[in-house]
Amino acid sequence: MGRFRSLTCCLLPAAIVLMLAACDSAPPGPRQPQSRPADTLPAPVDSQPATTKTTTQPATKPAIPEPSHPPYLLILDRFRPHQKTAAEARVEPGRRLVIDTTNVRRMRIERSKLPMDGHGRIILRLDGQGILWPADSRVVEFERSQNGDWMPIRPSQRAKRRNP
């Protein structure tokens, strides 16, 4: 029993000291953020004179300006979003509308704005592909597939494509 008492007398104070050493002296509260090693480095020195104004580039890439298209032609979608589109259109005899495009996936043609007289069928040639566009057609949009074929988009299909 005496031996147990001497161990208790030595070990108990040592255990109390270790527990107290591990405790924080401040009462619990909001913690202060730890500093990072980068915060301790000196600020970079500006190599330009103080009187020179500097400009910064915007963080986002500016929109690519579209080239002008005929008023009856509206580009709706591109194959490569960050590249320009091009569309050349011309009216030929025999109610033919010829349109050659670059980077155009989907477009709208406004029949009412076409420089053609009267109402009748139109023979479209989209990038070399012939399409007969009847006068009573409600189609106004055309979409090009990955393999290059143009297809008319019916009004019911347009609603599905816009509201997936």
Query: pTM for this one?
Result: 0.56
Structure tokens at 84: 């320009």
- Asked whether 77 and 106 are in contact (CB, 8 A), the reply is yes
pLDDT tens sequence for the chain (164 residues)? 666 566 566 666 666 766 666 555 555 555 554 444 444 455 555 555 554 444 445 545 445 555 678 889 999 999 999 999 999 999 999 999 999 999 999 999 998 899 887 678 999 999 999 999 999 888 999 999 999 999 999 877 655 555 55
**So where are the chain's domains?**
73-162
Which helix (H) or strand (E) element contains residue 102? Answer: strand 96-102
Give the C-alpha separation, 108 to 143, whole Å: 9
Give the C-alpha separation, 49 to 40, whole Å: 25
- Asked whether 128 and 155 are in contact (CB, 8 A), the reply is no
- Whole-number pLDDT of residue 130: 96
